Amino acid sequence: MRGKNLILVFVVYLMIGGLTACNGIDTGKQVPMKEKKNVAMDYKVNKTETEWMAQLGENAFEVLRKKGTERPFTSEYETFWDSGVYICKGCGEELFSSATKFDAGCGWPSFYQSIDKSKVKEILDNSHGMGRVEVVCSNCGGHLGHVFNDGYNQPTGLRYCINGLSLGFIKKQ
């Protein structure tokens, strides 16, 4: 009896495996199952890694989707002071205002607050043995940078240290 059950379980397992494999066959829009698993489902904007790569290009993909960090003092926005709104390069959501941007001298565009608290999600990040707080776009989950409480002399005391590669800019008066 037990042996029969085991065989049944095994057959069902094979069937599920077979179906899953079918889903992975490239039929245009379908994507391999392996890739689907990596898509975070708790964000409004969901794309596969292939789609993100095609949209963002290698450098922005590395930051936004792989939590990379751009080299300091390399961003076009690091010493850029035009009036306007900084948007997420992944999904276009408005994230930071130029009115809250300040020169932290750290090598990355820095802001003392986001446009609205709902726009960015803050997540405890213990990677590299540091208890940092990661900042991601609430709309697409794209990695933006980290927030530190060393925004001395700033109204909030915070420093949102953001990778310029994760941002776009819309000029506004």
Catalytic residues: 161
120 contributes a contact to Zn ion by CB under 5 A:
no
Judged by CB, which is closer to Zn ion: 57, or 155? 57
Q: Is 145 in the site for Zn ion (CB under 5 A)?
A: no
Residue 159 Cβ vs Zn ion, minimum distance, rounded to whole Å: 21
Q: How far is the CB of 136 from Zn ion (least distance, A)?
A: 8
* Tokens found for residue 133: 């707080």
Taking residue 111's Cβ as centre, other Cβ atoms within 10 Å add up to 28
Please state the closest distance from residue 4 (CB atom) to Zn ion, in A.
Answer: 52
Distance CA 28, CA 149 (A): 47
Measure Cα distances from 107 to 5, 12, 15, 29, 81 in Å. Answer: 63, 56, 54, 40, 14
Q: Per CB under 5 A, does 114 bind Zn ion? A: no
Tell me if 161 sits within 8 A of 70, measured CB to CB.
no
Tokens of 99: 């009115």
Rule CB under 5 A: say whether 137 interacts with Zn ion: yes
Residues that bind Zn ion (CB under 5 A): 88, 90-91, 93, 137, 139-140, 142
